[in-house]
Amino acid sequence: MTMKRSILGALIVLASFTASAAAQDFKQYRTTTLDALVDEWNRKTSKEGPGYSFSRPEKLKLIVKLGQAPKPCETDPLRLVLRTMGFEKVLEQVKVSQCIGLVSDGGRAMPAYVQDVLVDGLNADAKVGRSIEAYVDFLAFEVNADRSRNRAILMLNRFEPL
Q: List pLDDT tens digits, range 141-160.
A: 999 999 889 999 999 999 99
Nearest-angstrom CA–CA distance, 113 and 97:
8
Is the pTM of the predicted complex or chain greater than 0.85? Answer: no
Q: What is the predicted pLDDT for the residue at 25?
A: 67
Nearest-angstrom CA–CA distance, 144 and 128:
27
In percent, how much of the chain has pLDDT > 70? 85
User: What tens digit of pLDDT does each residue of 8-60 get?
Assistant: 444 444 444 444 444 456 789 999 999 999 999 999 999 999 999 987 889 99
Q: What is the predicted pLDDT for the residue at 55?
A: 79
Longest dimension (CA), the chain: 44
